[in-house]
């Protein structure tokens, strides 16, 4: 499925930018989008009932650059704002940007160019976390996007389902519309259900090693990802995990390829489990309701399957096992130990070989599988 280079005008790329209470960050975001080397853009900024000057800032950009249009709505949240933007944005291709982030100059040219050459439905690139004045590419994102692949099937690279971000991708607009894709409304973490469906339904995905997005990590208390200790946050996290798993299950049920069952296992053990460690570190301060939701949410997704089989790191596999056993005090003790230690865990010899050293609990009461190291983890010290 090779289309070759388009002759004539460059394709139009539509970008939806939801805006809420980001007056300090919005100019840098819009400046980076309008400075793209792919200049054929239709940028729809959705003012999601923002209480600050964000809507006025966006209108200023629209007055100066005809590629920018602004839509003002009552507050509907990120998913609702993106969906409203989809009603207005034009283009052969479609992308999304969050209003506190920045897009590198050649990002959209790279992603659109890949789709123009391949005919795939989605192109995705790597990202950099932008925190405390420096940018770093997460190792797991580097691994997911290297080497470059064209017209990829998810059955050949199921771990790509871990690339759940909305904004490091460009979608073929006809594919998006034909698949009937929308963003869930009324929940946080709306990226995962939609990107999971998109990746599963795409007729080919281009995976690029290029960094195409700078993700700003904010520490002002307003970012969704800073609110993990709240009950609402954890409820939304499990709700969107269940939505995504439902799409995977539907895909597996409809597939005759034996690799589909492996795809589901990778999704559950690596993708769904991948961010649990962030919640495990909140266990020491969580109240009774939060603990019950964490325990029951994990039981609902993993059932009798042990998190010792997951892709979590050794200490987090142990914490996950303790959660599954409803051993709250021990889970809190290990989580606090991992957090406060601030360096890799030591390793010691056990009956079955090397294991992590966790002196804050009675390891004689723990399943050895929750303590043991895998062959790939034996060399050197063990990261927490």
- Which backbone phi and psi does 53 adopt, to 5 degrees? -85, 10
Q: CA-to-CA distance for 55 and 70, rounded, in angstroms?
A: 8
Under the banding of pLDDT at 50, 70 and 90, the label for residue 4 is very low
Write out the H or E segment, with its range, that includes residue 329: helix 328-341
- Is the Cβ–Cβ distance between 71 and 84 less than 8 Å? yes
Residue 311 in contact with residue 199, Cβ under 8 Å?
no
| 13-225 is a CATH 3.90.550.10 domain | yes
Whole-number pLDDT of residue 375: 86
* Element of type H or E holding 83: helix 77-88
Dihedral sign (CA 132, 138, 141, 146): positive
Residue 8 pLDDT exceeds 90: no
Phi, psi of 366 (to 5 degrees): -115, 140
Share of the chain above pLDDT 70, in %: 94
Summarised one tens digit per residue, pLDDT across range 141-150 is 999 999 999 9
CA distance 106 to 372: 45
Find residue 348's DSSP bridge partners. Answer: 355
Instruction: Say what the pLDDT of residue 192 is.
Output: 96
List, for residues 154-183, the tens digit of each pLDDT value.
Answer: 999 999 999 999 999 999 999 999 999 999
Name every residue whose Cβ is closer than 8 Å to that of residue 32 and which is 6 or more positions away in sequence: 102, 103, 104, 105
pLDDT, tens digit, for every residue of 239-279? 999 999 999 999 999 999 999 999 999 999 999 998 999 99
d(CA 342, CA 86): 44
> Quick one: DSSP state of residue 230?
S
Query: In the beta sheet, which residues pair with residue 382?
Result: 345
């Amino acid at each position: 499925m090779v289309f070759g280079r388009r002759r004539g005008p460059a394709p139009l790329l539509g970008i939806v930018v939801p805006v809420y209470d980001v007056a300090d960050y919005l100019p840098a975001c819009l400046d980076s989008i309008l400075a793209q080397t792919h200049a054929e853009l239709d940028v729809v900024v959705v003012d999601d009932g923002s209480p600050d000057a964000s809507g006025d800032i966006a209108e200023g950009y629209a007055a100066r650059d005809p590629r920018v249009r602004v839509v003002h709505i009552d507050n509907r949240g990120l998913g609702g704002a993106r969906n409203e933007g989809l009603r207005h944005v034009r283009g052969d291709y479609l992308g999304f940007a969050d209003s506190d982030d920045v897009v590198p100059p050649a990002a959209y040219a790279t992603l659109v160019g890949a789709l123009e050459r391949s005919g795939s439905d989605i192109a995705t690139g790597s990202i950099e976390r932008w925190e405390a004045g420096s940018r770093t590419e997460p190792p797991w994102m580097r691994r997911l996007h290297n080497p470059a692949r064209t017209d990829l099937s998810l059955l050949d690279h199921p771990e790509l389902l871990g690339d759940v971000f909305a904004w490091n991708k460009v979608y073929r607009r006809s594919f998006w519309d034909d698949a009937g894709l929308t963003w869930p409304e009324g929940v946080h973490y709306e990226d995962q259900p939609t990107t999971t469906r998109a990746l599963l339904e795409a007729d080919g995905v281009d995976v690029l090693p290029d960094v195409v997005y700078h993700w700003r990590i904010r520490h002002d208390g307003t970012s969704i990802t800073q609110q993990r200790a709240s009950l609402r946050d954890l409820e939304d996290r499990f709700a969107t995990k269940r939505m995504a798993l439902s799409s995977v299950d539907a895909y597996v049920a409809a597939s005759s390829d034996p690799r589909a069952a492996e795809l589901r296992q990778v999704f559950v053990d690596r993708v769904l489990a991948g961010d649990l460690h962030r919640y495990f570190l909140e266990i020491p301060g969580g109240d009774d309701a939060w603990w019950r939701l964490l325990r029951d949410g994990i039981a609902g997704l993993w059932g009798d399957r042990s998190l010792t089989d997951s892709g979590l790191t050794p200490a987090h596999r142990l914490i996950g096992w303790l959660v599954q056993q409803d051993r709250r005090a021990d889970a809190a003790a290990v989580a606090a130990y991992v957090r406060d230690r601030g360096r890799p865990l030591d390793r010691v010899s056990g009956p079955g070989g090397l294991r992590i050293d966790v002196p804050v609990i009675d390891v004689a009461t723990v399943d050895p599988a929750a303590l043991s190291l895998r062959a790939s983890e034996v060399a050197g010290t063990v990261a927490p």
